[in-house]
Structure 1
C-alpha cells in the first residue's frame, strides 16, 4: 500500500498543537509538497512551520480564530495565495469545553458550534467550490470524536456540535462524489494532547493525571497524536481513493458493546 502524498498541498486547522500538528508532520513525512496550518497562537505556528520546513516542505501559517466566521472564510484564499491550489483539507481544530444540559448557556453552545461545526462547514464549502471550479479531485478529513455517538452528560454542547460534524461528513461525502471529492471522519477517543492537559487542569486534576489514568485503559495508554496522524494521512492519500463517507471509530473501546 502506497501511502504517499507526493505533490499534494494540505490545509490543516488546529495545526499548532496536538492532533493537527501531528497530522501536519505526518503529511510532511509522507512527501506532501506544501502544508498550511492554522491556529490562534502565532509563536506556536512559527515553531511548527519551522519544523515542517526542516522536513523539506513548503509551509505557511494563517492566524485565525475559527469562532470568527469571516476569518474562517478567508483561510483558504490565504493558504492558496502562499502555497498554490490546496487539494487536501483536515479539520482538526476543536473546542472541548464542559457543560451539561442544566448548565450550558447559549453563549457556550454557540461558541462550540461555531468552532466545531460551522468552521468545518465554511472551510469545506470554500474548498469544494474551488476544486469543482478547477475540475480537480480532493480529500477532506474531519477529526470528530467518539462523543458524537451521544457523549457524556458533562459534554452536552461538545457532543452535539461534533454530532453535527459527523452528519456534515456523510452529507458532503454523498454530495461531492460526482466531483471526486472524498470526505471521511475520524471519531477520536480519549487522546493525550495539550488541549486535554489544559482541560484536566481546569477541572482541578493534578499535573500527573495521565500517569494515573493510562494504566486503567484497555491498551495501557491514551491515544497519541502520532496514532491518528497515520490514519489521517491514509485518508488523504490515493490509497483510500475508493473510500468516502466513512466515520471511523478510532478508540480502544467498542461503541455499543457492554460488559
Structure 2
C-alpha cells in the first residue's frame, strides 16, 4: 500500500512524456488514475497497462483540451468512473517555436488554446468536483521556467506558462477555504518525445551533458514531485512552486567564469 492508496487522480496529457511519468508515479504510490490523451490511444493503453500492473485501477479518456466542452466532459467522465476525485494534475501542453515576427498564427493560437485555456478548463472543472465533494484535495499545475524566463522563439508558450502560474496561485487562494490545495511544478529540461520535435538525439545528449547535473531530467522525477505535493504530510503546502530542474535555472554558466578566474588568481592571504 502506497502513501496515496485509495486516492483517485486525473492526469491530463498522460499518454507520453511528463504526463506518463506522473501517471505511473501516482499509480506506484497507490492512486487510481484516469489517463487523458488527445491523439495517442496506443500509448495511452500502454500507460494504463503499466498502472494496472501496480495493482490500481486505471483507464484512458480521450479529449482535446483546447475544447472547453470536451475538457469538462473528460473531467466529468473520469470522476464518474473513479467514483470521485482527490487529485487533479493539469499537464497537457502544446508548443510551437518561431520568432514573434515569423509566427504561424494558427500554431500560436493552438499553443495558447491548449497550454493556457486547456489548463484552465482542467483546473476549473476539477476544482468544482473537489469543492462539491467537500473532502479537500489537490490540484497540481505543471508549468515551466518559461513562466518567468523570456525564451526567444517561444513567445506563445512563455505567455501560456506565465498565465498558468498566476492561475494556480489565484486558485490556491480561492480554494483554501475548501481545503483544496493548488501547487505548481517547474520542470527543467526533461527527456520526453516532445523535445524531439525541436532537437535531435545527438543534440539532446550533447547539451544534456553540459547541464549542472550532467543529464536531462526524467518524467518519473516530475511524477515523484507530484506525489510529494499530494501526500497528506504535505498538507501545509499550497500556492507554492516546486522546481525540479537539476539546477538549470541556477547561474551555472557563470561557474565557468569563476573557475577560469580561480585558476589564474594569486592566493589570497588575510592579515
Local SS of the residue matching 1:152: coil
Q: TM-score scaled by structure 1? A: 0.92
CA-to-aligned-CA distance 1:173-223 (integer Å, 9 cap, x gap): 0110000010000111111111112332xxxx4x33222212211111011
Match of 1:182 in 2: 181
Counterparts of residues 89-108 of structure 1 (less than 5 Å): 89-108=88-107
Match of 2:37 in 1: 39
Structure 2 alignment gaps of length 5 or more: 255-271
2-side partners of 1:245 and 1:157: how far apart?
24
Moved over 6 A (4+): none
Local SS of the residue matching 1:220: coil
CA-to-aligned-CA distance 1:25-53 (integer Å, 9 cap, x gap): 11111111x10011121111111111111
Pair 1:254–1:214, CA change in 2 (3 A): closer
1-side partners of 2:218 and 2:174: how far apart?
32
Q: TM-score scaled by structure 2? A: 0.88
Contact 1:131-1:137 at 8 Å conserved across structures: yes
Contact 2:127-2:139 at 8 Å conserved across structures: no
- The correspondence for 1:253, drawn from 248, 254, 260, is 248
Match of 2:56 in 1: 57
CA-to-aligned-CA distance 1:75-134 (integer Å, 9 cap, x gap): 111102222101101111111211222122432232111111111211111121122222
Local SS of the residue matching 2:100: coil
Structure 1 alignment gaps of length 5 or more: none
Tell whether 2:221 aligns with 1:227. yes
Match of 2:235 in 1: 241
Pair 1:184–1:156, CA change in 2 (3 A): same
> Cα RMSD between the aligned structures?
1.8
Pair 1:53–1:95, CA change in 2 (3 A): same
Local SS of the residue matching 2:101: coil
Pairwise CA distance, 1:3: 7.6
Higher relative contact order (CA closer than 8 Å, sequence separation 6+):
1
Counterparts of residues 46-85 of structure 1 (less than 5 Å): 46-85=45-84
Pairwise CA distance, 1:15: 0.8
Larger radius of gyration: 2
Contact 1:3-1:233 at 8 Å conserved across structures: no
